[in-house]
Every structure is written in C-alpha cells, then in structure tokens.
Amino acid sequence: MRLADCRVLLTGASGGIGLALAEQLCARGAQVMAVSRQPEALAPLRARYQQQLVWTGADLRQVQGRQRVLEVARGMGGIDVLVNAAGVNCFAMLEQVDDSQIEDMLALNVTATVQLTRALLPLLRQQSHALVVNVGSIYGSIGYPGYAVYCASKFALRGFSEALRRELADTPVNVLYVAPRATRTSMNSQAAMALNAELKVGVDEPDQVARAVIAAIEKDLSEVYLGWPEKFFVRLNGMLPGVVDRALSKQLPIIRRFSGAHHGKDHP
C-alpha cells in the first residue's frame, strides 16, 4: 500500500509503539486519526502535523467510545487502514492477578479490538484495497510463565486475525498480524524489564517495531514476527512444544523471583 494515499485509524496512539507508529505514518504522508484516552503524549506530533493528524479521545472498552471513533472515521470520508495497537499488559503469576486486572486486559486486548474492527469493516470494505493491522505479540504464539492472562489475550488476537483474514479473502480487505518481541515501553513494568535483563532477552525500541509494521503494510504482508531467536522459538513451540516446556521450566525459579519481588507494582 502507498501510505501517502491512505487514511489510517490508529488505536493506542499515545503508547510507545502507537506513538512511534503515529509519527512514522505521518512522516510517510498518511492522514492519521489517532485514538487514545490521553492526548498529552501526542501534543508535539499534533503541532508538527496539523494537517495530517487528528486526535480522538475514546475508551474503546465502552460502546460510546467506539461509536465516537466510528463517527469521526465517517467524517474523514472513510479509512483505508485500521491499526489496532491499543493494549495493556501485566507481569505476574496468575495467582497474583486480581479480577479487575484480568477483565481489563481481556476487555481491551481482545473484546474492544474485535468490536471496533466489526464496527469499522463496512467502511474498510468500501475501499478498493484496505487493511486491518492487529499488533499482537510473540506471546500470542508461546505461552510464557508470568504472562498467562496476557498470553490468553494475544493468542485470541492471533486466532481472530487468522480467521478474519480467511473470512475476508474474497473482499478488498486484508488482515496483517504483527508479533513484536519484548519492547521498551511503559506497558512493561520495571519487574518485567529486570527479568528481561536477567535472562538476556532482546528488547526492541518502539521505533524499530513501528518501522517493521510500516514495512509490512507497504508490502501488503499477512504476518510478521519480530526478533531472533524469538521467531525460531515460535516455530519450535509449534512443532516440539515439549522442548520449549523443558527450556522454560529452567527459567521458572527466576521468573517467580522477579514476579514475587515486585508483586503489586506491575499493573500499568
């Protein structure tokens, strides 16, 4: 796709990856409707790209918020690309997570994304070529201790992306699923980042992830997995999950230690 010709609706636009995406989309000439609950992080971009960037405040977990987004998208004359980048995370063992945290992750990461996509599909189908981009995670393919609820949400998003792509195969709408690895954003707590450092896990910057998403959009790809050896472990987990079970069991005492030491400080 040629982004300079596109109207892009971007959720989670004030987050680390979302903010980087907003900047890079504008830099390529796209008209961007940025959706977030807080406008402050977007203020410099809104000042720089006054003719391209429109901000809409909305809580996508609420029907009123999704309706507001739909109305603004109609006012733009429709959209060519929907980027679902809104999401939350929580590093904690399942027994350390309370009901409100579970509900919050599933409501935003899965339910709101599915509902918003459904609401916007009629606008996307009006275009000669359109795209839904779902920003998932490597943890949407590998179940990882300390992220049971987050994994549940991202496994669901990956399945939704695959099924929707097949459902829309005879329409002008394609679906792209992007799976970043660990990324340096405020969504990842200090405990999570400390664990990554202890285990020597590779961590990408939001700009790197955004560049990969932009490249995938321009090439009209259907799936992108970021990072090495993460891409290898995704394949290994699909073919030989027992091997991954044994490898992660060795990390389990370390994961428990970091989760327990920082319990109560990790909900974003």
Question: Annotated active-site positions, please?
Answer: 150
Distances (CA, A) of 199 to 118, 161, 247: 39, 30, 12
| Structure tokens belonging to residue 130 | 């359109």
DSSP string computed for 5-72: G-EEEEESTTSHHHHHHHHHHHHTT-EEEEEES--GGGHHHHHHTTTTEEEEE--TTSHHHHHHHHHH
The answer to whether residues 19 and 42 touch, using CB atoms and an 8 Å cutoff, is yes
> Can you state the angle between helices 63-75 and 113-125, rounded to 10 degrees?
20
Using DSSP's 3-state secondary structure scheme, residue 84 falls into strand
Query: How far apart are the C-alpha atoms of 155 and 176, rounded to whole Å?
Result: 15
